[in-house]
Structure 1
Amino acid sequence: MPLAPSPKERIILAAEALFAAHGLDGVSLRQISAAAGSGNNTAVQYHFGTKEQLIREIFEFRLPYLHERRNLLAAQHRPNDLRGWVECYVLPVLEQGEQEGSNYLSFVANLHTHGSREVFDQFAPTYLAASNAFQDHFRSFLMDIPEPLRAHRISQAIAFAIHAAADRERAKARGQDVLSFAAHVADLLDGLVGYLTAPVSPAALAACDNAGRDATSWLLVP
């Protein structure tokens, strides 16, 4: 029988659900405390201090399993093409959205759309290194795509996967019909790989040259 969540875990799960539904600015710490079942209105401050720290703790709660699952998939399948590496990276995120009552993907999508970039920039180096290691494999199959377009495509592909998974998570929560999980995964991978490997047009190259080649992309760590 699974253990009941600790008070801190109850706050994390309540905050994740409320942030997913209402965004960061639409939820107060008092509301989170109440949703977590705490009779203490200052429970969030007691355990986490600030809203920003609570947001980081949500990621700290979710990311270890996601990275462990990615590494397990990579060890099992030993991918030797771009699609295989993208699947190992994205599949654990999509699986998370299939869990009963999941709100994590909607939380991440909301944070990406309306949050602060600094939240993502403050991830522990371990999580950034793990994500970068997978993205290095992506880059190795995209050497014909010049920088910064290659980094931009990888960043955009990951963001699209997160938002697509969040859309499915919300649709399932509303009881709407969705594709089977297998079809959803296969179709999403088709789209991501197609986008990543699409030929670079002369117009894109010219625009890139005019803008300079030192642009940076927003790394989204799901």
Structure 2
Amino acid sequence: MTAARGRYISGEQTRTRLVEAAERLFARRGYDGVTLAEIRKTAGQHNSSVIGYYFGTKEGLLRAVFSHRLPAVNEERDAMVARLTVAKGELSTRDALWTIALPLAHTIGRGNHYVAMLNQLINRDQLAEHYTAADPAVTAGGRAAYIALKESITHLPDDVLNQRLLLVYASIVRSLARFDADGTPPDQGELSALVDAWEALLLAPMSPETVGSRRGIGESAIRRVGGDFPAG
């Protein structure tokens, strides 16, 4: 029993080392810029089949990164949503932005490079593809935050709203990735100032020029700013 338990602990430690090595390398060079051999060596593993044993494929390893990081993000996000809903009845646009940004900001530091990895996926238009392939159970919190944010904004047509949401989400991730590069999360004042900007972008009225010349944002424009809104 003790030997079996020891092997289980050792296996979990190996799995975690591989996940965190993959996250670190994906954050530096992007998903396509890293080989499985590099991940294995960074994790200190010599068995060439170890990644296949634990994850099957490179895509399976990336999904494991989401499963490794998102439970803590979702737990904090869900607690924020519950607390704000009890206090206010419904979330404002600003409240919803905080529920998306703050849990991500709290991942920065202590060897956690989740936000920087998200940024690399956004830069290569890969985030929506991989995020939607992850376990729905670990992505539910992000989707709930997205719904709350979208429902807080009713003055824009859907195509314009979707474009703004995508721009804001990309800005959240890219802004936080800069803090990740420094290894220090933003303080309350820094993050509050960013929330000011994101809120202003979402709530700004459409200009007469936009109203008069609207031809629809279109799917190609949505793809250019990052695909579907994942709220990871």
Tell me if 1:190 matches 2:200.
Answer: no
Distance in 2, matches of 1:204 and 1:128, equals 34
Distance in 2, matches of 1:197 and 1:60, equals 33
User: Aligned letter for 1:196?
Assistant: L
Pick closer, same or farther for the CA change 1:41–1:196 going to 2, 3 Å: same
- In the TM superposition, residue 93 of structure 1 has moved relative to its aligned partner by 0.3
User: Aligned letter for 2:45?
Assistant: S
After superposing the two structures, state which structure 1 stretch, 105-114 or 196-205, moved more. 196-205
Distance in 2, matches of 1:147 and 1:24, equals 31
Aligned to 1:102: 112
Retained in 1: the 8 A contact 2:143–2:231? no
Distance in 2, matches of 1:31 and 1:202, equals 53
Aligned to 2:5: none
**Identical aligned residues as a percent:** 25
Aligned to 1:200: 206
Distance in 1, matches of 2:217 and 2:106, equals 38
| Structure 1, unpaired ranges of 5+ | none
Specify which of 136, 140, 159 is matched with residue 148 of structure 1. Answer: 159
Distance in 1, matches of 2:76 and 2:138, equals 13
- In the TM superposition, residue 25 of structure 1 has moved relative to its aligned partner by 2.2
Aligned with 2:118: secondary structure?
Answer: helix
| Structure 2, unpaired ranges of 5+ | 1-8
Q: CA RMSD in A?
A: 2.5
- In the TM superposition, residue 188 of structure 1 has moved relative to its aligned partner by 1.0
Retained in 2: the 8 A contact 1:147–1:213? no
Tell me if 1:46 matches 2:56.
Answer: no
User: Aligned letter for 2:162?
Assistant: A
User: Aligned letter for 2:159?
Assistant: P
Pick closer, same or farther for the CA change 1:210–1:221 going to 2, 3 Å: closer
After superposing the two structures, state which structure 1 stretch, 9-18 or 132-141, moved more. 132-141
Distance in 2, matches of 1:126 and 1:88, equals 18
Distance in 2, matches of 1:54 and 1:112, equals 18
Distance in 2, matches of 1:56 and 1:72, equals 24
Pick closer, same or farther for the CA change 1:168–1:13 going to 2, 3 Å: same
> Cα deviations across residues 152-191 of structure 1 (Å, max 9, x unaligned)?
2122211210111011110237xxxx8x511221111111
Aligned to 1:138: 149
Specify which of 71, 77, 98 is matched with residue 87 of structure 1. Answer: 98
Distance in 2, matches of 1:155 and 1:13, equals 27
Aligned to 2:122: 112
- In the TM superposition, residue 107 of structure 1 has moved relative to its aligned partner by 0.7
Tell me if 1:31 matches 2:38.
Answer: yes
Distance in 2, matches of 1:214 and 1:100, equals 38
- In the TM superposition, residue 127 of structure 1 has moved relative to its aligned partner by 4.4
- In the TM superposition, residue 60 of structure 1 has moved relative to its aligned partner by 1.1
- In the TM superposition, residue 218 of structure 1 has moved relative to its aligned partner by 2.0
